Amino acid sequence: MASCEDCREPACHGFPEATAAVAPIPTGRPSLFIALLLTLITFWVMVLAAGIRFPAGREIGATFRDALRTRAGRIGLAWVVGTLLFNVVETGLDSAIGPALGLDFTHVIHRFEGDLVAGLQDTLLGHALAPVWAWVYVFLYPSLLLLPLVIYHASGKHEHTKGYIGAFVFNYLFALPFYLFVPVTETGWSGTVERVKPLLDGVWPVFTEVVRSSSALDNCFPSLHTSLSFTVAFYALLHGPKRLQRVGWVGAVLVMLSTWALGIHWISDAAAGIMLGYLAARMGPILAGRVVSLEPAPVASTWSRRK
């Protein structure tokens, strides 16, 4: 039987219970299948919105296949996977380090912002549109992060691929120390703003369990959802193409709004996330250049051969 320390229920870690504001989508295999299907559909919609004409499904496979064919590509892939695994480890340590040091900066953020996030959740129709905002937060977000990798690989711009990977990793390297030593609790679970409700947990419980394995309830400042999304926008602004810029900016703004509508992040989290996104877009190529030099793939991409 799992102990309370192993449990990821908010109540087990001292966070207040929340009342589900919307009917939950049933958990289990059908939900996981729907999650995969919606992710694929969302990615294809974003590809079309970016005006890309290459066969996206084949190009996704080619991106990872070519990464495994070269030593440099394997290093880059290991870099990303290692960063994500370290994030999971950090989440496990988070519940021990924060309480042991007596750290909690939620009250500082609340003293600065007041109840502004409650007004934002109401303005964005968080309760009525919770399934829509959950779709943005759960499915549009990873699709947005994947899009630059596929586009840059397909067009043979390997330096941009390398720089984008560096920017992705930079976000985590910068944010993780804050999560350990500057913990800020999600608005819906903080108990400081009574009108804000944690809506994501009620919309899709099965996905919330996955989220909690890599993001503790007090991993708020800065918002990685916001920073990584704006990294796509800023990186596209610096390196193109223009169509990726448009999709990047729209996607980044939607993701940021979803964190407020669903009762997850504070305004300060998002503001810090935007600044981190810009810094990552600038520093990513520098960081990547010091770690790995991606070589052109030995086999031309599908899109390149069609051009």
Residue in this structure with the two tokens 């929340």, named with its chain if needed: 18
Would you report the helix, strand and coil content of the chain in percent, each value rounded to 5?
70, 0, 30
CB atoms within 10 A of CB 115: 14
Burial of 292 (C-beta count, 10 Å sphere; 0-12/13-18/19+): buried
Q: What is the pTM of this model?
A: 0.80
> DSSP letter at 191?
S
The DSSP result for 63-93, as a single string, is: HHHHHHHSHHHHHHHHHHHHHHHHHHHHHHH
Structure tokens at 22: 């919307």
What pLDDT shows up at residue 72?
64
The two tokens of residue 53 are 């004409």
Classify 38 as helix, strand or coil. helix
The pLDDT of residue 223 is 96
The pLDDT value recorded for residue 300 is: 44
pLDDT (tens, 9 = 90+) of the chain, 307 residues, equals 444 444 444 555 445 444 444 444 444 444 667 777 787 888 888 888 877 766 555 666 666 676 667 666 676 677 778 777 877 777 777 767 767 778 889 999 999 999 999 999 999 988 999 999 999 998 899 899 989 988 887 787 888 988 999 999 999 999 988 988 899 999 998 888 888 999 988 887 767 666 666 677 888 999 999 999 999 999 999 998 888 999 999 999 999 999 999 999 999 999 999 999 999 999 999 988 766 544 444 444 444 444 4
